Amino acid sequence: MARYPFSILFLGGDDRYRSLAALLERSTRIKLELRRAADRAASLDAVRMQRCDVLLLDALDNRQEALELLHESAALGLPAARILLVAEPTDRSASADAIVCTQELSTETIERGIATALTESRKRLAAREQSLADAAIATRATTASAPQPIIDAMVRDLSEAKESERQSRQSQRFLQGTLDALSARIAIVDDRGAILAVNEAWRRFAESQPALQRSATVGANYLEACALDLADCGREGPRVAHGIRQILLGHRHEFQQTYPLHEPGLTRWFVMRATRFPGQGPLCVVVAHEDVTELRQVEQSLEEMSRQNQLILNSVSEGIIGFDVSGRTIFINRAAAEMTGWSDSEFVRAGAHDFLHRGEGAAERTCDDCPVCATLADGKIRHHDDHLVRRHAGGTFPVEYNCAPIWEDGRLSGAVLTFRDITDRKRLQAQLLQAQKLESIGQLAAGIAHEINTPIQYIGDNTRFLRDGFAGMDGLLAELRRLPRSGDAATGPAAGEALARMAEAADLDYLVEEIPKAIEQSLEGVERVAGIVRAMKEFAHPGTPEKTPVDLNRAIQSTITVARNEWKYVADVVTELDHDLPPVPCLPGEINQVVLNLLVNSAHAIGDMVAAGRMDRGEIRVSTRLDGEWTEIRVADNGAGIPLEIHSKIFDPFFSTKGVGKGTGQGLAIAHSVVRDKHGGEIRFESETGKGTTFIIRLPMNGQTPHEAADERELALV
pLDDT in tens, 206-215: 777 766 666 6
More confident call, 674 vs 348: 674
Q: Are 279 and 304 in contact (CB under 8 A)?
A: no
| Beta-strand relationship, 571-576 and 618-627 | parallel
In the sheet that holds 195-198, the strands lie side by side as: 195-198, 185-189, 285-291, 266-276, 254-263
Q: How confident is the model at residue 47 (pLDDT cuts 50, 70, 90)?
A: low
Q: Are 575 and 633 in contact (CB under 8 A)?
A: no
> Hey, which CATH number is domain 316-421, 3.40.50.300, 3.30.450.20, 2.60.40.10, 3.40.50.1700?
3.30.450.20
Alpha-carbon distance of 421 to 563, in angstroms, equals 37
pLDDT in tens, 246-301: 888 888 888 988 888 777 777 888 888 999 876 666 788 998 888 888 888 888 88
Q: Return the amino acid letter for 641.
A: G
Q: Return the amino acid letter for 332.
A: I
Residue 93 CB partners (closer than 8 Å, separation 6+) = 67, 70, 84, 99
**What is the secondary structure of 232-262 as a DSSP string?**
TTGGGHHHHHHHHHHHHTTS-SEEEEEEEEE
Q: Are 252 and 264 in contact (CB under 8 A)?
A: no
| Beta-strand relationship, 54-58 and 548-550 | unpaired
Of 137-146, 150-159, 189-198, 346-355, give the lowest mean pLDDT range. Answer: 137-146
Structural domain 543-714, CATH architecture: 2-Layer Sandwich (3.30)
Report whether pLDDT(555) > 90.
Answer: no
591 burial via Cβ count (<10 Å: 0-12, 13-18, 19+):
buried
Report whether pLDDT(431) > 60.
Answer: yes
pTM of the model: 0.40
pLDDT in tens, 627-665: 989 999 999 999 988 888 888 888 876 666 665 445 555
Could you count the other beta carbons within 10 Å of the beta carbon of residue 309?
11
Residue 509 CB partners (closer than 8 Å, separation 6+) = none
Does domain 4-169 sit in CATH 3.40.50.2300? yes
* Highest-confidence segment of 2-16, 422-436, 581-595: 581-595
pLDDT in tens, 439-476: 666 666 666 666 677 678 768 877 887 887 777 777 77
Could you say which DSSP state residue 390 is in?
A: E
Q: Which fold has domain 182-298?
A: Beta-Lactamase (3.30.450)
Q: How confident is the model at residue 173 (pLDDT cuts 50, 70, 90)?
A: confident
